[in-house]
Chains A and B, each alone.
Chain A
Amino acid sequence: MFDKIFPYLLAGVSVGGQYALIAVGYTMVYGILRLINFAHGDIFTAAGFFMVYISATMPLYLAIPLVTVLTVALGFTVERVAYKPLRTAPRMSIMISAIGVSYLLQNLMWYITGGLAKQYPVLPWISDSITLGSASTKVVTIVTPILTIVLVTALVMLIQRTKIGMAMRAVSKDFETAELMGIKINSVISTTFIIGSFLAAVGSMLYFTNYTTVTPTIGAMPGLKAFVAAVFGGIGSIPGAVVGAFIIGIAENLIRAMGYTTFSDAFTFALLILILLVKPTGLFGEKTSEKV
């Protein structure tokens, strides 16, 4: 029995780790701006395409850092161009802007690639096959959860121990007061987007090594699922997002194991609605109430 379930668990842990890296970006941005950054999934996709094109012209040891830098630059630009001008606008406007950016990025990628699927380059070592007990898989499957935990631990340390981390916590607690206290809101927000995009870039390398085809809309689904993971764990909470992502990754693969593949995506949303109704603040979220 376990032999049959094990490969699913393995796939679940691996995809969960990749969702986690995206989910952290969502949860940090939401924590600070109260914005669902719909474009985050597309930044993840863009990282995939950067790699496809860049690795065609230069060796991987140059391509990997360059891809990371470009992805971070993209995330940074999106924030500056599409979200910063709307900082005082109603929340609905900025969310619409996020949807607009997502639409733009998808169409841009469609245009550049001609709408055709691109083959992701083979990254050495992590693309190799290995056999674990009853399952054969790629090395990346094992690497992903480990790397995810290392990166997220580093991030939590950054937020707990450094000055910029303290500023981030302050801004997410109370935007206006933090601003009055002389915290440079814009640089804090930019840092948030930079960290989020960096993790998305790493996530995309792991994800596309596993699933080697890149299409313009491929990031939409993992993006939404990562967001659900963030809500599930309690939006604004980084450990919450990671736990949520692993739960969703594993649950989704178990659903497939049971043969309800039609519902593997729908399940994620059902879980989201359930958690919103039962515990709207998620597993690790904090309660806030509106002042009258």
Chain B
Amino acid sequence: MKKNTKTIVNLVLLALLFLAVWVIERTSSASSMLITVLKKGAIYALIAVSMNLLNGFTGLFSLGQAGFMLVGAYTYAVLTIPVAKRVAVYQMYAGGAIHFQLPWLVGILLAGAVAALFAALIGYPVLRLKSDYLAIATLGFAEIIRAIIQYEKLGPITNGSLLLKTYPTFKSTLFPFAAAAICIGIIVLLINSTYGRAFKAIRDDEIAAEAMGINLFRHKQMAFIISSFFAGVGGALLAMYQGTLQANAFKAAMTYEILLIVVIGGMGSVTGSVLASFLFIACSEWWLRFLDAEQFIGSFQVPLLRSGFRMVVFSVVIMIVVLFFRRGIMGDKEFDVEGISKWCRRKFGKGGAKA
């Protein structure tokens, strides 16, 4: 298949996906769990792909994702709350220090930009560290950012540790899909560009990559900043989805969850991360919910089922994936036309190998 044809087929598949989402939205009621899963899944897909860009494609074990999402979410919320509502939101800070409202699109872009700016500042010292030291340092930075945002002296801007709300949100499921698709599309373009190849070279062998003239620090920083930009955008979308925002939710546990999504999907697979995000969200919000409620079959109470059991089952499944299916759903393969046709060729004999 020629390259152009492949691109076209992939775009057609994407268009079909959008059509399906549109049809689902039209046919099911707005409160259906399916809609919830689709909205949240799309946002998590973007965040997971942004983390995969770092951990899966560049080989940087960073655990700062929640911190950058937090920065993005706060940037968006703080700048887009309507002026009239600020007195009520900043109830303890006399309406806060900001007296303007930006349009939502500007807010989202700034969310990414501010997160990227933070990444640039943080990356400068920490990207010189290796593997687990990098992980723990980025984790630490995320905690520091959270503490700063909750600092009461910054209350007029961030509302301290209290909830932010009344900023513009979205109604249509197509919105997070479109936003995520654009962002993921850009990440895919980046990964397949000469810079993306350099990232993968760094992941495979830092020393060889450096000997081939790839400036390790600059490329790592680039990956870090770009990943954080999209994490920031993802954070803003998550804030829009939730309708309320509080720094407290963006803890290390959130980063771990996203990391596990990336692992389940397969390190180094964009489509893997996307699939895993929807699966993860569907399981945790919907399919496995029944495990949390006491169930009766006749008068027999099904044992073990009560609040919290869902998460136990869930974490056991994750451990099984981590231990026995280390490459995740997709490994480093992609679920696209090329991937499918390769898979078919492997599966159904060598006859078509030359096709």
Residues of chain A lying within 8 A (CB to CB) of residue B263: 96
Query: CA–CA, A93 to B55, complex, Å?
Result: 11
Contact A107 B308 (CB under 8 A): yes
- A-contact bits for B249-281, CB 8 A (1 contact / 0 none): 000110010011001000100000000000000
Question: B126 contacts A273, CB within 8 Å?
Answer: yes
* B326 x A103 contact (CB < 8 A): no
Interface residues of B: mostly helix, strand, loop or mixed?
Answer: helix
Asked if A82 and B326 make an inter-chain contact with CB atoms under 8 angstroms apart, the answer reads no
Q: Which of A67-107 contact B (CB under 8 A)?
A: 81-82, 85-86, 89, 91-93, 95-97, 99-104, 107
Stretch of B5-13, B78-86, B145-153, B235-243 with 4 or more beta carbons under 8 angstroms from chain A: B145-153
Within 8 A of B (CB), among A96-124: 96-97, 99-104, 107-108, 110-112, 114-115
A36 is an interface residue with CB less than 8 A from chain B = yes
Q: Which of A48-56, A142-150, A204-212, A259-267 is found at the contact surface with chain B?
A: A259-267
Most chain B beta-carbon neighbours within 10 Å: one of A86, A100, A263 = A100
Contact A103 to B308, CB < 8 A, known contacts A36-B136, A82-B319, A292-B207:
no
Instruction: Decide: B140 and A99 in contact? CB cutoff 8 A.
Output: no
**When the two chains form their complex, are residues B129 and A280 in contact, meaning their CB atoms are under 8 A apart?**
yes
- Is the beta-carbon distance between A99 and B260 smaller than 8 angstroms? yes
Task: For the complex formed, measure the closest distance between the CB of B335 and the CB atoms of chain A, giving whole angstroms.
Answer: 22
Give the shortest distance, in Å, between A50 (CB) and chain B (any CB). Answer: 18
Chain A residues within an 8 Å CB radius of B326: 86, 89, 93
Q: Are A263 and B147 in contact (CB under 8 A)?
A: yes
- Cα A272 to Cα B315 in complex, Å, equals 30
Q: Say how far A164's CB is from chain B's closest CB, in angstroms.
A: 26
Give chain A's interface residue range (CB within 8 Å of chain B). 35 or more
A101 touches B319 (CB 8 A): yes
- In the bound complex, residues from chain B placing their C-beta under 8 Å from that of A34 are 132
Q: Are B143 and A115 in contact (CB under 8 A)?
A: no
Question: Is B144 interfacial (CB-CB < 8 Å)?
Answer: yes
* Nearest chain A CB to B74 CB, angstrom units: 16
**B167-191 at interface with A (beta carbon < 8 Å):** none
**Cβ of A110: which chain B residues have Cβ within 8 Å of it?**
308, 311
Q: Per-residue 0/1 for B320-334: is the Cβ within 8 Å of any A Cβ (1 yes, 0 no)?
A: 001100100000000
21 example contacts (A-B, Cβ-Cβ < 8 A) are as follows A35-B132, A82-B323, A85-B323, A86-B323, A91-B131, A93-B326, A96-B322, A97-B319, A100-B315, A104-B318, A104-B319, A111-B306, A111-B307, A111-B308, A115-B307, A228-B136, A228-B140, A263-B147, A269-B139, A269-B143, A273-B141
The 5 closest A-B pairs by CB, nearest first: A269-B140, A111-B308, A266-B147, A104-B315, A107-B311
A residues apposed to B, CB below 8 Å: 34-36, 81-82, 85-86, 89, 91-93, 95-97, 99-104, 107-108, 110-112, 114-115, 220, 224, 227-228, 231, 262-263, 265-266, 268-270, 272-273, 276-277, 280, 290, 292
